[in-house]
Amino acid sequence: MKQMLVKTSTHDYPIYIGKSLRFKLNELIKESYTKVLIITDDVVADLYLDDVRNSLEHFPVIEAVVPSGEASKSIKEYYRLQTVALKNHMDRRSLIIALGGGVVGDLAGFVAATFMRGIDYMQMPTTILAHDSSVGGKVAINHELGKNMIGAFYPPKAVVYDIDTIRSLPDHEIRSGFAEIVKEAYIANKPLLEELLHKKLTDISEEELIRYLYEGISVKKKIVEEDEKESHVRKFLNFGHTLAHALEAILGYGTITHGEAVAIGMLFALRVSEHYTDHDLHTERYKKWLDRNGYPCSLYGISHDDIIEKMKLDKKAANEQIQMVLLKAIGKPEIFDFTDETIEKHLQAFAKELNEA
């Protein structure tokens, strides 16, 4: 088992990464809790809920299952979970366990952040993408006017990452998660990037996977420790996300996964970056890697005006300009502001590259 400790302004929390950890919760949870509420989705419940419940024999356990998918990050599910917690007499000394991907982690984390003004919660990520979402304490639900618009910074008490659970993920979820690891490598770990760009996702061994997750989480840990509330360096984690959020919002969540959208967004950000640096950003190698691993690479026929409008709505945009994270070099991210006209020019060139102009 690998382990690290994340420091926050309120407390430090451990991250455990290893095999079969879902059977060892009794050892990993040191505190005594009056009740434990496991929140999961219906896909993960069928696969792992029994294992998790059975390893919590010292605690009274309650379970709540939400439908799998982004739509569960809603005020409706949020309210229903608060009702479950209240009806089961949970109190300020109870624990919530978020068992699942980023959807469950964000939702359960926000329930924990607000139930009786905040109770302990633990993240048990079961997707590769959730190596990112389970660390850093951002929790949220969606508003119909925007994604993650209702939320908090509320760090977990622990992250328990049983990497055996990743084996049941479908290919597009593996691609989705790996895009975020490549992102972390691009902004802060060049050797990791060079290694990853040689790899085919279907040929990665278990030891390699654990190491990649560990290195990706290490990048995230370092950044969130330096900037917990996203006032400066934490924005670098949005590399590739400006275009990605626009594509996701227009296509509707679910057409492509978050990470697949980020993968396209990073290719765009690399092309734009090339105008501002002479350093080699491995863009061609990255593009080949996307192809080799079956990432969709398209703007889906969406008009550039629509993309630009959504890019401006992205909550990271300042003073009406579009904000993007670019790379001065691999491992050297920087924030740039753009006018609509400049972005339009870059989008045109990008569409041409994708044979969509």
Ligand X SMILES: NC(=O)c1ccc[n+]([C@@H]2O[C@H](COP(=O)([O-])OP(=O)(O)OC[C@H]3O[C@@H](n4cnc5c(N)ncnc54)[C@H](O)[C@@H]3O)[C@@H](O)[C@H]2O)c1
* Binding-site ranges for ligand X (CB under 6 A): 41, 43-44, 47, 68-70, 73, 100-104, 106, 126-127, 129-130, 132-133, 136, 138, 148, 165-166, 168-169, 173, 176, 258
Tell me which amino acid residue 242 is.
T
CB of 147 to ligand X, least distance (A): 6
Concerning whether 211 is annotated as a catalytic residue, the answer is: no
In total, the chain counts a number of residues equal to 357
Q: Out of 27, 30, 57, 117, pick the active-site residue.
A: 117
Q: Out of 22, 35, 234, 271, pick the active-site residue.
A: 234
List, as one string, the DSSP characters of 6-28.
EE-SS-EEEEEEESSGGG-HHHH
Contacts of 348 (CB under 8 A, 6+ apart): 304, 357
CB of 74 to ligand X, least distance (A): 11
User: Of 218, 194, 195, 221, nearest to 208 (Cα)?
Assistant: 195
CB of 255 to ligand X, least distance (A): 13
Concerning whether 138 is annotated as a catalytic residue, the answer is: yes
Concerning whether 53 is annotated as a catalytic residue, the answer is: no
User: Of 148, 158, 146, 145, nearest to 24 (Cα)?
Assistant: 158
Concerning whether 341 is annotated as a catalytic residue, the answer is: no
Concerning whether 54 is annotated as a catalytic residue, the answer is: no
Give CA–CA dist 331/326, Å, rounded: 10
Contacts of 350 (CB under 8 A, 6+ apart): 267, 268, 271, 299
CB of 292 to ligand X, least distance (A): 21
Q: CB nearest ligand X: which residue?
A: 102
Concerning whether 258 is annotated as a catalytic residue, the answer is: yes
Give CA–CA dist 111/117, Å, rounded: 10
Comparing CB distances to ligand X, the nearer of 172 and 312 is: 172
Comparing CB distances to ligand X, the nearer of 281 and 324 is: 324
Active site residue ranges: 117, 138, 180, 220, 230, 234, 238, 241, 245, 258
